[in-house]
Amino acid sequence: MNDPLSRIIATELQARPEQVDSAIRLLDEGNTVPFIARYRKEVTGGLDDTQLRQLETRLGYLRELEDRRQTILKSIEEQGKLTEQLAGAINGTLSKTELEDLYLPYKPKRRTRGQIAIEAGLAPLADTLWADPQQQPESLAERFVDADKGVADVKAALDGARYILMERFAEDAGLLAKVRDYLWKHAHLVSKVVEGKEQEGAKFRDYFDHHEPISQVPSHRALAMFRGRNEGVLQLALNPDPQFEEAPRESQGEQIIIQHLSLRLNNAPADAWRKAVVNWTWRIKVLLHLETELMGTVRERAEDEAINVFARNLHDLLMAAPAGMRATMGLDPGLRTGVKVAVVDATGKLVATDTVYPHTGQAAKAAALVAALCIRHNVELVAIGNGTASRETERFFIDLQKQFPEVKAQKVIVSEAGASVYSASELAALEFPNLDVSLRGAVSIARRLQDPLAELVKIDPKSIGVGQYQHDVSQSQLAKKLDSVVEDCVNAVGVDLNTASVPLLTRVAGLTRMMAQNIVNWRDENGRFSNREQLLKVSRLGPKAFEQCAGFLRINHGDNPLDASTVHPETYPVVERILAATQQALQDLMGNPSMVRSLKASDFTDQQFGVPTVTDILKELEKPGRDPRPEFKTATFADGVETLNDLQPGMILEGAVTNVTNFGAFVDIGVHQDGLVHISSLADKFVEDPHSVVKAGDIVKVKVMEVDLQRKRIALTMRLDEQPGEGPARRGGTPPARDNATRPAAGKPKARTSTPAGNSAMGDALAAAFGKNVNPCGRGIRFARFSPAFFDLSQLFAIFISTGVYK
């Protein structure tokens, strides 16, 4: 079965079928994606983790499709209706939608009006009238009137015949394919407010009378409209003929049906009846069926995009630069409730906690206490949460350092997203059973500065706050995607076997949560691991799990220096051959770039390990324990710029990117309110995808373009030569369109900016600005592509009315 699947997937991945076939075999044998990507490059021909994840997802879809295909073939065969042509069509499709279309006429269903009409003997009437338009419908129908069969009169007979044909045509896979294609290319998704919900649903006001091409609705707008419908505020429908101001007497969909059925209408006696059959088929069956299906397609695409945005941001956050093994103080700011203080040593072990009240008239006492903790524990870094009272707490620490110059610690503003979730979690209770919940957040803030990856894996990814519409998408698919991101990040970095927590170990390839707990238990009972082979002594951790996890687990200062590297134990013999050839001791060869670079990978290959694996070994020997994460850097917030009131257009500030969406990036500039760099202001060139320019955690320079104090909105630009109030003409021309809505027709009124509503935390916002062209007759709205010429701050930030970013 893998051969045809391999060819299909290989074409999609632009890989060779044998590569895909090998990867499928490895996956089926229970190997993990990180293990295959890192240690089986010869087998897969070098497929990376991204390709393997795509392969794994696509393989699942195609196998589900194949299972469904066999079920359908069996069902139709049992009915005695499976023809060679039908079997060929069923076996040839790669689409679940097309497969269900082909099955539709044979699918067991409840008794329909068409079936009841057939049982009443009306099929000959339907067939005759359809085939011979010269027949008089009423006269012919009189012969089929039979009260005993439920056909009371001529009208009932003719209606029954219509139902027979309508259901027959609506199950024509070829017809459905043609109409589906037309609707996807031309139909508009229409949104209108439910009468009486105008005030209650004000955050959706931009969708009260809205439409745009269904195939071009961006994910954020689609999910906004579906949310509005779920909340009972909006009604959604499909307009199959958006080119007409009023609904036409005959839809283009009816014309497609007429053409597909080769129907000729020449005012023959039965033509009016036959035309009515087409109308019924279109309105009652085909349009309703495809409207539901296409809206499902839009939602599925929107959810996939939202999940991918979340995954990219999560990856960037998890792979943020670690500050490293340095004693760190975590400050969880608060005003009336005080600032929670936690100190962890270089290994992350909690050594001290306290609560101080610098913002309620006790600044001197608080400063003395915090300074004493810093001095006593040799604190090198101070992590300050970026929530309420963050800048006030930062100013307090700056004043403290002036008062106590011996406190040399570097202060860093750290995202505290998810810290409160961790504080109240079962894991935090197990880790710190005797510590007050409010203080656990300060511990998390300190540790996430030392190593963001190790600390953030303890928190449900959905609580970290880097997604858009994460609550509106399939939670199972979201969880699966985010789990794969966390797994890939953890294994890309590697894990210290002697210090890792259970949650971190659980994410290592091949380990279950029980195995991870057993590793920690073994550590508690026997002390630190001194070599990787000791893993086989851990309960329930067998040879297969060892094979998968060993290369990702590090043992520093153990029996074998290779145990602290990415070199897998199965390839230690390769290293021994290298040492023999160079006549060097392992300690002398590791970290000796000039010596390692003089070696050729091809000289040390064997039947099992080829050039790719040996090349990776040499890279590791050249620079042992390399960390793929970037160098640690921090944003320096401007002194005296602590609130919105301190901002002035034209200011150039440094900030940290907190979230990236499809329409721009949010940047923390230290005023308790993230600013937005719209996609058109990310670079001096056209930007298709904001993720190609910035990622969460990046330190960037931005210029303040506009500030809306009333709404707490900040417009920023990374184009530092851009001037506040400057239009596209003065910037050298209008950039390419940034949205997918259609341009207005010539002669139509100038577009105005639309402002869709938003949702929740950390960039869970809606759309980039997009043009909106109001129909002069008041019957609809036609969208124009976004142009900065029509853009202003108040319009854009109305988008984010109910977001957690702007409160």
Res. 466: pLDDT tops 70: no
Tell me if 389 sits within 8 A of 334, measured CB to CB: yes
Alpha helix positions (H), 464-526 = 475-493, 502-506, 513-526
C-beta atoms surrounding 14 within 10 Å: 7
C-beta atoms surrounding 395 within 10 Å: 16
The lowest-confidence range among 443-452, 496-505, 610-619, 788-797 is 788-797
Laid out side by side, the sheet with 781-784 consists of 752-754, 770-774, 781-784
Q: Which pLDDT score is estimated for 803?
A: 36
Contacts of 532 (CB under 8 A, 6+ apart): 497, 550, 553, 555, 560, 563, 569
Handedness of CA 741, 743, 748, 750 (dihedral sign): positive
Q: Which pLDDT score is estimated for 662?
A: 84
User: What does the block give as tokens for 376?
Assistant: 């006593």
Which residues in 340-374 are b (16+ Cβ under 10 Å) and which e?
Answer: bbbbbbeebebeebbbbbbbeeebeebbebbbebb
Domain ranges in the chain with CATH number 1.10.150.310: 567-622
Residue-wise pLDDT for 353-393, tens only, equals: 999 999 999 999 999 999 999 999 999 999 999 888 998 99
What's the CA gap between 653 and 797, in Å, rounded? 21
CATH superfamily entry for domain 2-106: RuvA domain 2-like (1.10.10.650)
| Mean pLDDT confidence for 87-94 | 95
The lowest-confidence range among 84-93, 300-309, 391-400, 462-471 is 462-471
Q: Which pLDDT score is estimated for 245?
A: 80
| Most confident stretch, 436-445, 705-714, 765-774 | 436-445
Domain ranges in the chain with CATH number 2.40.50.140: 644-800
Confidence of residue 553 (pLDDT cuts 50, 70, 90): very high
Q: Which CATH class is domain 567-622?
A: mainly alpha
Please give the helix or strand (H or E) that residue 554 lies within, else none: strand 553-554
Per the document, the length of the chain is: 807
Terminal CA-CA length for the chain: 54
Look at 182 and 750; give whichever has higher pLDDT.
182
Confidence of residue 179 (pLDDT cuts 50, 70, 90): very high
Q: Which pLDDT score is estimated for 756?
A: 33
Residue-wise pLDDT for 112-145, tens only, equals: 999 999 999 999 999 999 999 999 999 999 999 9
User: What does the block give as tokens for 44?
Assistant: 């897969």
The CATH number of the structural domain formed by 644-800 is: 2.40.50.140
| Mean pLDDT confidence for 33-55 | 96
Res. 28: pLDDT tops 50: yes
The CATH number of the structural domain formed by 114-307 is: 1.10.3500.10
Q: Which pLDDT score is estimated for 491?
A: 97
Q: Which pLDDT score is estimated for 2?
A: 56
3-state secondary structure of 228: helix
Strands (DSSP E) found in 345-477: 350-356, 381-385, 410-414
Domain ranges in the chain with CATH number 3.30.420.140: 326-450
Could you tell me whether strands 188-193 and 234-239 are parallel, antiparallel, or unpaired per DSSP bridges? antiparallel
Q: Which CATH class is domain 326-450?
A: alpha beta
Res. 736: pLDDT tops 50: no
Q: Which pLDDT score is estimated for 730?
A: 38
Q: Which pLDDT score is estimated for 17?
A: 95
Strands (DSSP E) found in 651-789: 652-661, 664-668, 675-678, 699-708, 713-717, 752-754, 770-774, 781-784
Please give the helix or strand (H or E) that residue 500 lies within, else none: none
Tell me if 12 sits within 8 A of 57, measured CB to CB: no
Q: Which pLDDT score is estimated for 509?
A: 98
Q: Which pLDDT score is estimated for 643?
A: 86
Q: Which pLDDT score is estimated for 465?
A: 67
Q: Which pLDDT score is estimated for 272?
A: 97
Integer CA distances (angstroms), 273 to 137, 175, 261, 265, 281, in order: 7, 20, 15, 10, 12
Contacts of 419 (CB under 8 A, 6+ apart): 332, 385, 441, 444, 445, 448
Domain ranges in the chain with CATH number 1.10.3500.10: 114-307
Burial class (CB in 10 A: 0-12, 13-18, 19+), 7: middle
How high does pLDDT run on average in the chain? Answer: 88
Please give the helix or strand (H or E) that residue 805 lies within, else none: none
Q: For the chain, give the percent of residues with pLDDT over 70.
A: 89
